[in-house]
Structure 1
Amino acid sequence: MKHLISLTVLATAVMAGSTALATPDMSDYERWRATTQQEFQNYLDENDKAFIGFLKQRWESVDTESGNEEDTAPKPTTIPAAPPTPTPKPAPTDDPQNKPLTSSQDDSKDTPVANIQNRPDTAKPESTPESEPLLKITGPAADIDFYGHPVRLPYNTAMTRAFSVTPSSESIASAWEALARSDFRPALEQVRSVKASLSLSDWATARLITDYAHAVARTADSRVMLSWFMLVKLGYDARLAYNNQLYLLMPADDDVYGVTFFTLKGERYYALPLDGDVRIAGQVYTYGKQHGTASQPIAFKTPERFTGAGAIQKRRLSYEQGGDAINVVVRYPAEQINYLNSMPQLNLPRYPILDLPASTRTELATQLTPLLQGQSEEVAVNRLLNFIQNAFDYQTDEQQFQTENYLFPLETLHYAASDCEDRAALFALLVHDLLGLPVVLLDYPGHVAAAVAFTGQVKGDGIVYNGRQYTVTDPTYINARAGMTMPQFAGQTPEIVTVF
């Protein structure tokens, strides 16, 4: 056991820099560290030795492809408004709770929603964890402002000049060897510590490595080289490719849209926008056999838990409900918007499941709860529909961003306007979070709506999915209630997207 502990310390505790001579004023630990650094500088594990040998061999050429957009059908540029809701007649007091409802029965009390304020998952406290250094950094270190979180990571001389020659299999193998022989372990362990303390997803981890490479390495190719090396050492199936420059590509556990990729052994490797948009034309050279420790794709299907810190932004959303003016104020970390904006275009199901920051979630629930509490499920859903239909301006992505740009729920709360899939994602999250009802998305060509599974019967348009009745709910169709389909999509069969 003592031998195991000593190996663990040896693998994690040596600081960056060149070998130092032991002096009488050093502590026992510092003298031990100084005398063992040279061993690290000359050490290559078996995986590195095998990988370097493979990198020196001839690389194969692969054709790159341009990523397609997820939905190329044109979206409506103007949105129709549904007819006004007729004034309902009072329901008899002896009506059973499960009486079938129509979309005009706004005062019905079929199934009152739960006491939302007492839902255990609607008021999670905001946490802004700070990364605690695993090691005491005494050598050179990079100070990084990672979306409002201060992060300090050590580096060594080899990292600053990771790659400075013409790309070739030999030059890349030599650069890998130089990095592998350097004392990279303190930086690697510090990254792991930050990853745990800030709840970094795979994407956030890759972004941190990119920021680190920018702070440390001197040239564009050196930054790609260092990022590749660190991501492989963290276990990711990061892959290097080159023509007249170096490129970093990675596989994902889901489709990624709008980015260049190549296919190798049936796996797509994406030029993800870790350092801005990357476009590769024609052929590139890459290697076929990966490092023995690197097999993990970037996981986008796992919901994000990372939240940016720093300055708080505020937005006021105004609309009318039953003749009353309603104002909803939301606050959120501005850096979280920057982080979400860094992500590539993903599959539609990835968007509703990304929760709001805890404080934003609580603030929004607190303000919407009085409008929903004590109402029937149908009335509560209709009020959420009214909120999203009328508190947000409508613009297509092409009008607002000049390109397709699905928004996460927090982005919909932030940006001046939104379109159908953005509203559907936010609506689905609120229905799930505040009402606890099952909800799916309805993906038409050029339009996205939603559908809710009510406890009781609700009249109007609906679908049966997995043996359960879902009622159409369209948060883009102005003033539409549950059961109403936007006229231009009536009669069409949408793809059903499971989210909650």
Structure 2
Amino acid sequence: MKYLAPLACLSLLSGPTLADDYQDWLNKTRSDFQSYLDENDKAFVQFLQNKWTPVDVRPAQQRDPEPKPVEPPQAPIDQTVENDVPAADSELTDNTPAETPGLPLPPAEPSQPVEEPQVTLPQIPQPQPDSTSAQSRKPAFTFYGSPVYADTPTAFHKTYRGKLNSKNIAAYWTTLASSDHKGTVASLLASADELQLNSWGTALLFDRYARSLHRDDNSRVLLSWFLLVKAGFDARVAYNDKVHLLMTADQALFGVTYFRLDGHTYYAVNLNDKPLAPGKVFTYEGQHDSGRQALDFSEPVRFVPAGDNEEKTFSFHYADQQYSIRLSYPQRYVSYFASYPQLSLPNYFKAGLPAVTAQSLLDQLKPVVAGQSEKEAVNRLLRFVQTAFSYRTDDEQFHEENYLFPLETLHYPYSDCEDRAALFAWLTESLLGLDVVILDYPGHVATAVAFNGDVKGDQWPLNNRRYVVADPTYVNASVGMTMPAYAGVRPTIHTF
């Protein structure tokens, strides 16, 4: 018997209808692909072929240039708070911070905790190309321990050649856009969904795919740019002596250079190997119809990484009793979080912990606070965060400003004021259901808690409620006690 091609066998077994339907689908897929290319790429290529405009890359914004305490002060363990007078005037005012000039900040959020919306990953409804094409290959790459597979058109292997100018970049885009790229984009988006990545993680995934194909920086950046735009992101390239990738974001970014164009802020996010220095670069005007989605850094603990867990034990002493908390957390989160650019304070307070780690920590702390008054329960959580973690400033530990997500605070040997404040705030809201706000002093971050009953001590008003100071860095300090160096200083109050 002669060897029959798969479709021929299908035809013999099922009649001509199924094979004909398959061929009709294949023809329509190719027709749809060509239509998509015509409608969405030709106008964009015209933008790219025009003379690119020079723009000024601005220096990175800094969150807080004031130095932090080198050593946290300690309060006497037996000290109590006697007064009920706020640290500043008692007029109820809204201290929500104003917008930082020159940078888009996320809109103000209500002071009451609200359920976080699910990140909607950018999607493009499109059919899969013919996976049997001789031009398709399936290279694998690893994303924080998880293997990812994607069909790769031959054009994706093409190295960018020639000088950096608008004509050559337009030609390179045309080469990529003329390939059967839809299946690759759809496959990578499906992998991002399986790994439960937010949009920042999804952008990283696309960049890792481009890195698996190119060692040449310009080729890798241009392929990343192409794929991110096709996946729906507002990504843009600019060039000086090399190509740089920039993206818009829903949150303000710090420590990252940027430029503004057409009312949008484009950040030189650290998908680049080297930071884009302030100066002049050239970029195109206009925007691809597919690329509208800004990066969103919220819900960072959605990600489900592969690999082993790491274990650590934390001990603290309170009311003549010693407590020991043993935790396990996915180790690969640490390198994943290290990829994040610097965000504004509320983002770290909203992040939380991965589900398994969160549940374990809460389960072990529940007996510590069970049966206590609100004030006493908060004091116990304060003592845990104040004394179970060693203190060092970011400059000492990282040689640069580096706010930590709560999981990073559990991982690294040291933490400073904003790191402890974010962990304490999450614990207080999760275990006790009490509303917490951020007290942002020059060079220091603390928190304040809205109690249901009357609690004495230093307080700050916000939205017709009083928030009692709770400082996770002021060692042994109880609720209502302000670190001496900041007594009488009015902080900026952030909700999250």
TM-score range with shorter-chain normalisation?
Answer: 0.7 to 0.9
Matches for 1:235-250 after TM superposition, within 5 Å:
235-250=232-247
Q: Which amino acid aligns with 2:384?
A: F
Whole-Å separation in 2 of the counterparts to 1:327 and 1:394:
19
TM-score, normalised by the number of residues in structure 1: 0.82
Compute the displacement of 1:137 (Å). Answer: 5.8
User: 2: CA distance between counterparts of 1:193 and 1:232?
Assistant: 16
- Does 2:202 correspond to 1:205? yes
- In 2, the alpha carbon distance for the partners of 1:358 and 1:165 equals 49
1:87 Cα shift? Answer: 9.4
Partner of 1:160: 157
Tell me how far apart the structure 2 counterparts of residues 444 and 36 of structure 1 sit (CA, whole Å): 62
Does the CA contact (< 8 Å) of 2:389 and 2:414 recur in 1? yes
Which digits, 9 at most, give the CA deviation of each residue in 1:186-244, with x for residues without a partner? 11111221222222111001000110000123411111011100111111110110112
Are 2:248 and 2:264, in contact at CA under 8 Å, matched by a contact in 1?
yes
Gaps of 5+ in 2: 8-18, 86-114, 116-127
Out of 266, 270, 274, the residue aligned to residue 267 of structure 2 is: 270
1:23-58 deviation line (CA, Å, top 9, x unaligned): 951324886788788768866221201001121111
Output the CA distance in 2 between the equivalents of 1:431 and 1:282: 45
Equivalent residue number for residue 484 of structure 2: 487
Letter of the 2:154 counterpart: T
Q: CA deviation at 1:429?
A: 0.6
Partner of 1:464 in structure 2?
Answer: 461
The alignment's C-alpha RMSD in Å is 2.4
User: Counterpart of 1:481 in structure 2: which amino acid?
Assistant: S
Residue of structure 2 in register with 1:57 after alignment: 50
**Cα deviations across residues 311-335 of structure 1 (Å, max 9, x unaligned)?**
1011111221222222111111111
CA contact (8 A) 1:160 1:218 kept: no
Determine if contact 1:164/1:219 at 8 Å carries over to the other structure.
no
Q: Comparing 337-346 with 295-304, which one deviates more in the overlay?
A: 295-304
Shift in Å at residue 268 of structure 1? 1.5
Aligned to 2:472: 475
Give the match for residue 173 of structure 1. Answer: 170
Q: 1:409-448, aligned counterparts within 5 Å?
A: 409-448=406-445
Alignment of 1:301-450 (within 5 A): 301=298, 304-450=301-447
Q: Is the 8 A contact 2:30 2:129 kept in 1?
A: no
Residue 73 of structure 1 is matched in structure 2 by 66
Per-residue CA distance 1:413-469 (angstroms, 9 max, x = gap): 110000000000000111111111000010000000000001101100001110011
Per the alignment, residue 280 of structure 2 pairs with 283
Question: Residues 159 and 217 of structure 1 are in contact (CA less than 8 Å); yes or no, is this contact kept in structure 2?
Answer: no
Tell me: CA distance 1:36–1:292, structure 2 relative to 1, closer, same or farther (3 Å). Answer: closer
How many corresponding residue pairs? 436
Shift, 1:150, TM fit = 2.1
Amino acid at match of 1:363: S
Distance 2:393 2:401 in 1: 8
1:55-75, Cα deviation, whole Å (9 max, x unpaired): 111110001112022000010
Percent of matched pairs sharing the same residue: 45
Indicate the residue corresponding to 1:46 in structure 2. Answer: 39
- Is residue 162–residue 226 contact of structure 1 (8 Å, CA) maintained in 2? no
Contact 1:41 1:182 (8 Å CA) reproduced? no
Range with bigger deviation, 393-402 or 245-254:
245-254
Q: Distance in 2 between matches of 1:391 and 1:261?
A: 39
1:224 to 208, 221, 225: 221
Secondary structure (helix, strand or coil) at the match of 2:426 reads helix
Would you identify which runs of 4 or more consecutive aligned residues in structure 1 move more than 3 Å? 28-43, 134-139, 301-304
User: Corresponding residue for 1:85?
Assistant: 78
Query: Does the CA-based 8 Å contact 2:468-2:480 persist in structure 1?
Result: yes
Alpha-carbon spacing, 1:136–1:178, altered in 2? closer, same or farther (3 Å): closer
**1:249–1:270 Cα contact (<8 Å) kept:** yes
Partner of 1:261: 258
> Taking structure 2 as the reference length, what is the TM-score of the superposition?
0.83
Q: How does 1:27-46 map to 2 (within 5 A)?
A: 27=7, 28=19, 44-46=37-39
Q: Residues 470 and 480 of structure 2 are in contact (CA less than 8 Å); yes or no, is this contact kept in structure 1?
A: yes
Q: Is the 8 A contact 2:244 2:276 kept in 1?
A: no
Tell whether the 8 Å contact from 1:162 to 1:179 is kept in structure 2 after alignment. Answer: no
Partner of 1:97: none
Q: Does 1:190 align with 2:183?
A: no
Cα distance in structure 1, aligned partners of 2:22 and 2:160: 31
Q: Secondary structure of 1:252's match?
A: coil
Give how far 1:142 is off. 2.5
CA distance 1:31–1:266, change in 2 (3 Å): closer
Whole-angstrom distance in 2 between the partners of 1:55 and 1:422: 44
2:68 touches 2:393 (CA, 8 Å); kept in 1? yes
3-state SS in 1 of match to 2:169: helix
Q: Which amino acid aligns with 1:426?
A: L
Structure 2 letter corresponding to 1:328: I
